[in-house]
Amino acid sequence: MLEVRGISKRFGGNVALDRCSFMVEEHASVGLIGPNGAGKTTAADLISGILPVDDGQIIFKGRPIQNRPLWRVARQGVTRTFQVSRELKALTVMENMLVGSQLQSVEGVWPTLFAVSRIRAAERTAVRRAFELLELFQLDRVANELAGNLSVGQKRVLELARALMAEPGLLILDEPLAGLSPTTSRNIADFVESMRARGVTLLIIEHNLTMIERLCERVIVLAQGRVLAEGTMREIRGLPEVIDAYLGPVA
């Protein structure tokens, strides 16, 4: 589904990614791990269209998506979450969900006026889908609460649910367990597993290696902007280069 071909990204004299290449198969759950500064979040930013690529290609479903506008990449089926939840605080939980539905199918005043019935039908469909996802993620009881009033864990769950509103082909999760309690982390992991069951392809950036082992059948290790190793967690745990760069001698 996703091919990253030799992408590079520089910030002044700092090389964040250096000819980095990897693949994500359709319906797979792939972990992207590595030490701080390895280029993991930069890779997510390039794939999702937040940052432009300096060199290389990003192919999604056979088509190049590098350096395209963020909204266009999202419409093609790539969505993501962030290390810090980015809920729209002044909107309700339900309104946050509808923002993620990408309802707008026509542009301009006159085309919109001639498509009112189609737009209203799409809105009704989006509301039904939002309620279904809120029930799945156990947020239906707070659907009318302001998103800014939710707990940290609920905000993280809302971001996961909102990302699914766009029916993505690929969902990138950037440290979904960061800053959460062990109990909340396990709950989030349960929700991520439910995404896998719905057929969503996942690329998961995470430092919690226990959860990576649980959620991902394959893991990519980044170090200094390059792919250091690939394989299952069991396979990479014993690699000297991975131990030296990331896991440490205890591993």
Position 118 pLDDT exceeds 90: no
Does position 124 have pLDDT exceeding 80, yes or no?
yes
Spell out the domains of the chain, with CATH numbers in brackets: 2-247 (3.40.50.300)
Residue-level pLDDT at 113: 55
**Span 38-66, average pLDDT:** 96
Strand partners of residue 11? 14
* pLDDT of 119 strictly over 70: no
Tell me what the mean pLDDT of segment 106-127 comes to.
66
pLDDT of amino acid 250: 43
Helix residue ranges per DSSP H, the chain: 40-48, 70-75, 93-99, 109-113, 116-136, 152-165, 182-197, 209-215, 233-237, 240-242
Unique residue bearing structure tokens 């069951």: 197
pTM for the model stands at: 0.87
pLDDT tens, position by position, 201-213: 999 999 999 999 9
pLDDT tens digit sequence for 27-42? 999 999 999 999 999 9
pLDDT band at 23 (very low <50, low <70, confident <90, very high): very high
Name the residue among 149, 151, 175, 168 with its Cα closest to residue 81: 175
Write the single-letter amino acid at 234.
R
* Average confidence (pLDDT) over 76-91: 91
Residue 110 in this model has a pLDDT that exceeds 60: no
CA-wise closest residue to 76 among 49, 43, 111: 49
Give the model's pLDDT for residue 126.
87
